[in-house]
Amino acid sequence: MSKRRVIPGFGLSLGFTITYLSLIILIPLAALFLKAGGAGWDEWAGLLTSPRVLAAAKLTFGASAAAAGVSVVFGLLVTWVLVRYEFPGRRLLDAMVDLPFALPTAVAGITLCAIYAPNGWVGEWLAKWGIQAAYNWTGVFIALTFIGFPFVVRTLQPVMEDLGREIEEAAATLGANRWQVFSRVVLPLLVPALITGFTLAFARAIGEYGSVIFISGNLPMKTEILPLLIVAQLEQFRYEGAAVIAAAMLIISFLLLFLINLLQRRLDWQNR
Protein backbone atom coordinates (compact mmCIF):
# COMPACT_ATOMS: atom_id res chain seq x y z
CA MET A 1 0.00 0.00 0.00
CA SER A 2 2.79 2.38 0.88
CA LYS A 3 4.43 2.11 -2.53
CA ARG A 4 6.07 5.37 -3.46
CA ARG A 5 4.85 6.99 -6.62
CA VAL A 6 6.61 9.50 -8.78
CA ILE A 7 3.53 11.66 -9.26
CA PRO A 8 2.14 12.71 -5.88
CA GLY A 9 -1.48 13.08 -4.98
CA PHE A 10 -2.76 9.73 -6.24
CA GLY A 11 -4.95 9.11 -3.18
CA LEU A 12 -6.39 12.58 -3.25
CA SER A 13 -7.11 12.69 -6.98
CA LEU A 14 -8.60 9.19 -7.10
CA GLY A 15 -10.73 9.98 -4.08
CA PHE A 16 -11.98 13.13 -5.73
CA THR A 17 -12.63 11.32 -9.01
CA ILE A 18 -14.73 8.64 -7.33
CA THR A 19 -16.68 11.12 -5.25
CA TYR A 20 -17.31 13.29 -8.27
CA LEU A 21 -18.38 10.42 -10.51
CA SER A 22 -20.64 9.13 -7.76
CA LEU A 23 -22.38 12.45 -7.26
CA ILE A 24 -22.72 13.28 -10.93
CA ILE A 25 -23.28 9.91 -12.54
CA LEU A 26 -23.56 6.88 -10.30
CA ILE A 27 -26.05 8.14 -7.70
CA PRO A 28 -28.52 9.60 -10.22
CA LEU A 29 -28.31 6.45 -12.32
CA ALA A 30 -28.75 4.25 -9.28
CA ALA A 31 -31.78 6.30 -8.27
CA LEU A 32 -33.18 5.85 -11.77
CA PHE A 33 -32.83 2.10 -11.63
CA LEU A 34 -34.22 2.01 -8.10
CA LYS A 35 -37.27 3.89 -9.27
CA ALA A 36 -37.64 1.67 -12.29
CA GLY A 37 -37.28 -1.35 -10.03
CA GLY A 38 -40.27 -0.10 -8.07
CA ALA A 39 -42.43 -0.92 -11.05
CA GLY A 40 -43.56 -4.51 -11.16
CA TRP A 41 -42.56 -6.97 -13.82
CA ASP A 42 -45.92 -6.60 -15.52
CA GLU A 43 -45.54 -2.88 -15.82
CA TRP A 44 -42.04 -3.30 -17.29
CA ALA A 45 -43.18 -5.87 -19.81
CA GLY A 46 -46.39 -3.99 -20.58
CA LEU A 47 -44.66 -0.69 -21.22
CA LEU A 48 -41.74 -2.01 -23.16
CA THR A 49 -43.82 -4.15 -25.48
CA SER A 50 -46.46 -1.52 -26.10
CA PRO A 51 -46.54 -0.67 -29.83
CA ARG A 52 -46.15 3.02 -29.12
CA VAL A 53 -42.91 2.55 -27.17
CA LEU A 54 -41.56 0.07 -29.70
CA ALA A 55 -42.28 2.45 -32.57
CA ALA A 56 -40.58 5.29 -30.70
CA ALA A 57 -37.58 3.07 -29.92
CA LYS A 58 -37.29 2.09 -33.55
CA LEU A 59 -37.41 5.72 -34.63
CA THR A 60 -34.98 6.91 -31.96
CA PHE A 61 -32.29 4.30 -32.53
CA GLY A 62 -32.79 4.11 -36.28
CA ALA A 63 -32.74 7.84 -36.96
CA SER A 64 -29.87 8.33 -34.52
CA ALA A 65 -27.74 5.72 -36.26
CA ALA A 66 -28.58 7.13 -39.68
CA ALA A 67 -27.88 10.70 -38.56
CA ALA A 68 -24.58 9.68 -36.96
CA GLY A 69 -23.65 7.88 -40.17
CA VAL A 70 -24.38 10.93 -42.30
CA SER A 71 -22.53 13.13 -39.79
CA VAL A 72 -19.48 10.92 -40.23
CA VAL A 73 -19.49 11.38 -44.00
CA PHE A 74 -20.04 15.12 -43.98
CA GLY A 75 -17.95 15.63 -40.87
CA LEU A 76 -15.06 13.99 -42.68
CA LEU A 77 -15.53 16.32 -45.63
CA VAL A 78 -15.78 19.47 -43.50
CA THR A 79 -12.79 18.47 -41.38
CA TRP A 80 -10.80 17.82 -44.52
CA VAL A 81 -11.56 21.30 -45.79
CA LEU A 82 -10.78 22.91 -42.43
CA VAL A 83 -7.51 21.06 -41.94
CA ARG A 84 -6.17 20.88 -45.46
CA TYR A 85 -6.91 24.21 -47.02
CA GLU A 86 -6.00 27.75 -46.11
CA PHE A 87 -8.69 30.17 -47.22
CA PRO A 88 -10.23 33.42 -46.00
CA GLY A 89 -12.94 32.74 -43.46
CA ARG A 90 -11.50 29.40 -42.40
CA ARG A 91 -11.41 30.37 -38.73
CA LEU A 92 -14.97 31.63 -38.92
CA LEU A 93 -16.10 28.35 -40.44
CA ASP A 94 -14.16 26.49 -37.80
CA ALA A 95 -15.97 28.40 -35.06
CA MET A 96 -19.35 27.82 -36.74
CA VAL A 97 -18.92 24.09 -36.38
CA ASP A 98 -19.37 24.48 -32.63
CA LEU A 99 -22.66 26.37 -32.88
CA PRO A 100 -24.84 23.27 -32.48
CA PHE A 101 -23.00 22.71 -29.18
CA ALA A 102 -23.77 26.18 -27.92
CA LEU A 103 -27.26 26.82 -29.24
CA PRO A 104 -30.13 25.95 -26.89
CA THR A 105 -31.58 22.86 -28.50
CA ALA A 106 -35.10 24.27 -28.46
CA VAL A 107 -33.92 27.24 -30.49
CA ALA A 108 -32.32 24.88 -32.97
CA GLY A 109 -35.49 22.82 -33.11
CA ILE A 110 -37.76 25.76 -33.75
CA THR A 111 -35.39 27.17 -36.38
CA LEU A 112 -35.07 23.86 -38.18
CA CYS A 113 -38.82 23.45 -38.08
CA ALA A 114 -39.37 26.92 -39.52
CA ILE A 115 -36.94 26.24 -42.34
CA TYR A 116 -37.86 22.69 -43.25
CA ALA A 117 -41.62 22.84 -42.73
CA PRO A 118 -43.55 22.70 -46.03
CA ASN A 119 -44.01 26.49 -45.89
CA GLY A 120 -40.42 27.21 -44.80
CA TRP A 121 -37.53 28.36 -46.99
CA VAL A 122 -36.05 24.99 -47.74
CA GLY A 123 -39.18 22.95 -47.11
CA GLU A 124 -41.09 24.89 -49.76
CA TRP A 125 -38.42 24.14 -52.29
CA LEU A 126 -38.22 20.47 -51.25
CA ALA A 127 -41.98 20.19 -51.43
CA LYS A 128 -41.80 20.97 -55.16
CA TRP A 129 -39.84 17.77 -55.55
CA GLY A 130 -42.33 15.91 -53.42
CA ILE A 131 -40.05 15.70 -50.46
CA GLN A 132 -41.46 16.37 -47.03
CA ALA A 133 -38.73 17.28 -44.57
CA ALA A 134 -40.69 17.97 -41.40
CA TYR A 135 -43.22 16.14 -39.20
CA ASN A 136 -41.90 12.78 -40.35
CA TRP A 137 -38.86 10.51 -40.07
CA THR A 138 -36.84 12.83 -42.29
CA GLY A 139 -37.47 15.74 -39.96
CA VAL A 140 -36.20 13.81 -36.95
CA PHE A 141 -33.21 12.71 -38.97
CA ILE A 142 -32.37 16.30 -40.00
CA ALA A 143 -32.49 17.54 -36.40
CA LEU A 144 -30.27 14.70 -35.21
CA THR A 145 -27.76 15.33 -38.00
CA PHE A 146 -27.57 18.95 -36.95
CA ILE A 147 -26.66 18.21 -33.35
CA GLY A 148 -24.38 15.24 -34.05
CA PHE A 149 -22.16 16.72 -36.70
CA PRO A 150 -19.79 18.81 -34.48
CA PHE A 151 -18.82 15.69 -32.51
CA VAL A 152 -17.42 14.10 -35.64
CA VAL A 153 -15.52 17.20 -36.71
CA ARG A 154 -14.01 17.79 -33.30
CA THR A 155 -12.84 14.20 -32.81
CA LEU A 156 -11.46 13.96 -36.32
CA GLN A 157 -9.71 17.31 -36.49
CA PRO A 158 -6.72 16.68 -34.19
CA VAL A 159 -6.13 13.24 -35.71
CA MET A 160 -6.14 14.62 -39.22
CA GLU A 161 -3.85 17.48 -38.25
CA ASP A 162 -1.42 14.94 -36.80
CA LEU A 163 -1.43 12.81 -39.91
CA GLY A 164 1.08 15.01 -41.69
CA ARG A 165 1.74 15.29 -45.37
CA GLU A 166 4.60 12.81 -45.47
CA ILE A 167 2.65 9.59 -45.66
CA GLU A 168 0.53 10.98 -48.47
CA GLU A 169 3.64 12.11 -50.30
CA ALA A 170 5.18 8.71 -49.72
CA ALA A 171 2.12 7.06 -51.25
CA ALA A 172 2.21 9.51 -54.16
CA THR A 173 5.87 8.84 -54.97
CA LEU A 174 5.03 5.13 -54.98
CA GLY A 175 2.58 5.77 -57.79
CA ALA A 176 -0.75 5.86 -55.94
CA ASN A 177 -3.34 8.14 -57.51
CA ARG A 178 -5.37 10.52 -55.36
CA TRP A 179 -8.16 8.08 -54.72
CA GLN A 180 -5.72 5.34 -53.75
CA VAL A 181 -3.88 7.70 -51.41
CA PHE A 182 -7.17 8.54 -49.73
CA SER A 183 -8.76 5.12 -49.62
CA ARG A 184 -5.72 3.03 -48.80
CA VAL A 185 -3.59 5.34 -46.67
CA VAL A 186 -5.54 8.26 -45.21
CA LEU A 187 -8.95 6.74 -44.56
CA PRO A 188 -7.72 3.61 -42.71
CA LEU A 189 -5.75 5.85 -40.36
CA LEU A 190 -8.85 7.94 -39.69
CA VAL A 191 -11.20 5.03 -39.06
CA PRO A 192 -10.67 4.85 -35.28
CA ALA A 193 -11.40 8.56 -34.94
CA LEU A 194 -14.39 8.23 -37.26
CA ILE A 195 -15.81 5.50 -35.07
CA THR A 196 -15.33 7.61 -31.97
CA GLY A 197 -17.07 10.50 -33.72
CA PHE A 198 -19.91 8.21 -34.78
CA THR A 199 -20.29 6.93 -31.24
CA LEU A 200 -20.46 10.40 -29.73
CA ALA A 201 -22.91 11.65 -32.35
CA PHE A 202 -25.02 8.52 -31.96
CA ALA A 203 -25.09 8.71 -28.17
CA ARG A 204 -26.00 12.36 -28.24
CA ALA A 205 -28.75 11.76 -30.80
CA ILE A 206 -30.39 9.01 -28.75
CA GLY A 207 -30.84 11.35 -25.82
CA GLU A 208 -31.73 14.42 -27.86
CA TYR A 209 -35.02 16.06 -27.05
CA GLY A 210 -35.23 19.80 -27.58
CA SER A 211 -34.26 20.07 -31.21
CA VAL A 212 -36.37 17.10 -32.32
CA ILE A 213 -39.76 17.63 -30.78
CA PHE A 214 -40.64 20.67 -32.88
CA ILE A 215 -39.71 19.33 -36.28
CA SER A 216 -40.97 15.81 -35.58
CA GLY A 217 -44.59 16.79 -35.04
CA ASN A 218 -44.88 14.08 -32.33
CA LEU A 219 -47.45 11.91 -34.06
CA PRO A 220 -48.04 8.79 -31.95
CA MET A 221 -46.72 5.61 -33.60
CA LYS A 222 -45.08 7.72 -36.27
CA THR A 223 -42.81 10.51 -35.12
CA GLU A 224 -42.55 10.15 -31.38
CA ILE A 225 -39.06 9.71 -29.96
CA LEU A 226 -38.31 7.87 -26.72
CA PRO A 227 -37.35 10.97 -24.69
CA LEU A 228 -40.71 12.42 -25.62
CA LEU A 229 -42.49 9.34 -24.24
CA ILE A 230 -40.53 9.76 -21.01
CA VAL A 231 -41.72 13.34 -20.74
CA ALA A 232 -45.25 12.23 -21.57
CA GLN A 233 -45.14 9.73 -18.69
CA LEU A 234 -43.85 12.42 -16.35
CA GLU A 235 -46.62 14.78 -17.33
CA GLN A 236 -49.10 12.16 -16.26
CA PHE A 237 -47.20 11.75 -12.97
CA ARG A 238 -46.29 8.19 -13.91
CA TYR A 239 -42.75 8.46 -12.56
CA GLU A 240 -42.13 4.74 -12.52
CA GLY A 241 -43.16 4.38 -16.12
CA ALA A 242 -40.79 7.17 -17.10
CA ALA A 243 -38.01 5.48 -15.14
CA VAL A 244 -38.71 2.14 -16.84
CA ILE A 245 -38.40 3.61 -20.35
CA ALA A 246 -35.32 5.58 -19.35
CA ALA A 247 -33.66 2.53 -17.82
CA ALA A 248 -34.36 0.41 -20.88
CA MET A 249 -32.97 3.16 -23.10
CA LEU A 250 -29.86 3.36 -20.98
CA ILE A 251 -29.25 -0.36 -21.10
CA ILE A 252 -29.63 -0.54 -24.88
CA SER A 253 -27.47 2.54 -25.38
CA PHE A 254 -24.81 1.14 -23.10
CA LEU A 255 -24.76 -2.17 -24.96
CA LEU A 256 -24.53 -0.46 -28.32
CA LEU A 257 -21.76 1.86 -27.21
CA PHE A 258 -19.91 -1.04 -25.64
CA LEU A 259 -20.11 -3.00 -28.89
CA ILE A 260 -18.84 -0.03 -30.91
CA ASN A 261 -16.02 0.36 -28.44
CA LEU A 262 -15.04 -3.28 -28.88
CA LEU A 263 -15.08 -2.87 -32.64
CA GLN A 264 -12.91 0.20 -32.38
CA ARG A 265 -10.36 -1.57 -30.21
CA ARG A 266 -10.01 -4.21 -32.85
CA LEU A 267 -9.56 -1.60 -35.53
CA ASP A 268 -7.22 0.65 -33.61
CA TRP A 269 -3.91 -0.05 -35.21
CA GLN A 270 -2.13 2.55 -33.22
CA ASN A 271 -2.95 0.61 -30.08
CA ARG A 272 0.44 -0.57 -28.90
Partner 1 sequence: MSISIQSIRKTFGTYKALDDISLEVPNGSLTALLGPSGSGKTTLLRIVAGLEFADDGPGKILFHGEDVSGIPAGKRGVGFVFQHYALFRHMTVAENIAFGLSVLPRGQRPAKTGIRDRVLELLRLVKLEGLEKRRPHELSGGQRQRVALARALAIRPKVLLLDEPFGALDAQVRKDLRRWLRVFHDEIGLTTLFVTHDQEEALELADQVVVMRNARVEQVGKPQAVYDQPRSPFVYEFLGNVNKLHEGRDARYVRPHEIEVLFAAECDPATDRLARVQHLFSAGPVATLSVRLDDGQFLDVELSRKQLDELALDVDDEIAVRF
CB-nearer residue toward partner 1: 43 or 168: 168
DSSP, res 164 = -
Contacting residues for 212 by C-beta, under 8 A, at least 6 apart: 109, 140, 143, 144, 225, 227, 228
Q: Which residue of 13, 22, 177, 261 would you call a contact of partner 1, by CB under 8 A?
A: 177
HSE-up (13 A, CA, CB side) for residue 238? 15
Q: What share of the chain is helix, strand, coil (3-state, %, to 5)?
A: 80, 0, 20
The binding track of 226-255 with respect to partner 1, each residue x by CB under 8 A or -, is: ------------------------------
The one among 21, 81, 167, 262 contacting partner 1 by CB under 8 A: 167
Minimum CB distance to partner 1, residue 171 (Å):
7
Identify residue 46 by its one-letter amino acid code. G
Binders of partner 1: how many residues, by CB under 8 A?
A: 20
Taking CB under 8 A as the rule, does residue 180 contact partner 1? yes
Angle, to 10 degrees, between the axis of helix 51-84 and the axis of helix 137-163?
A: 30
Q: For partner 1, which residue of 98, 124, 161, 169 counts as binding (CB under 8 A)?
A: 169
Residue 162 interacting with partner 1 (CB under 8 A): no
User: Residues 199, 135: contact at Cβ < 8 Å?
Assistant: no
Contacts with partner 1, residue ranges (CB under 8 A): 164, 166-167, 169-177, 180, 184-185, 188-189, 269-270, 272
